[in-house]
Amino acid sequence: EAGVAQSPRYKIIEKRQSVAFWCNPISGHATLYWYQQILGQGPKLLIQFQNNGVVDDSQLPKDRFSAERLKGVDSTLKIQPAKLEDSAVYLCASSTTVGGVSTDTQYFGPGTRLTVL
């Protein structure tokens, strides 16, 4: 079974530029998560999708971050414009559902390391 795929693995940009990350979850997983992991900290949930609907985006900085999952499969996370403090690893995870309810075991991709100069 293929795991969660993310690209790119590394990205370096200057502040005020835009950047986008892509995630393809495990086949059949209805729930998709984006996390931000700043160096030395635990991952922080940015947004959670179930199929193509948003379940939780309470910690997403909506003035500069956006995410979509239009067809309920792969997803894109965008930052526009980037700030220095956005330097972090962006992790994507997915989980399956049972009876329409998300199970709680999440499977993580390798992450995208973003450096903002």
Partner 1 sequence: AQSVTQLDSHVSVSEGTPVLLRCNYSSSYSPSLFWYVQHPNKGLQLLLKYTSAATLVKGINGFEAEFKKSETSFHLTKPSAHMSDAAEYFCVVTRNTGGFKTIFGAGTRLFVKA
**Number of other CB atoms surrounding residue 22 within 10 Å:** 14
Respond yes or no on whether the N-terminal peptide bond of residue 61 is cis (omega within 30° of 0): no
CB of 114 to partner 1, least distance (A): 14
Nearer to partner 1, 42 or 63 (CB): 42
In order, the DSSP letters of 34-71 are: EEEE-TTS--EEEEEEETTEEEE-TTS-TTTEEEE-TT
CB of 11 to partner 1, least distance (A): 15
CB of 55 to partner 1, least distance (A): 4
- What string marks each residue from 66 to 95 as x (binds partner 1 by CB under 8 A) or -? -------------------------x-x-x
Strand 31-37 and strand 44-50: pairing? antiparallel
In order, the DSSP letters of 80-116 are: SS--GGG-EEEEEEEE-EETTEE-S--EE---EEEEE
Stretch that binds partner 1, among 12-20, 39-47, 68-76, 78-86 (CB under 8 A): 39-47
Taking CB under 8 A as the criterion, the residue among 12, 16, 18, 56 binding partner 1 is 56
Interacting residue ranges for partner 1, rule: CB under 8 A: 3-4, 31, 33, 35, 40-45, 48, 50, 55-56, 91, 93, 95, 101-102, 104-111
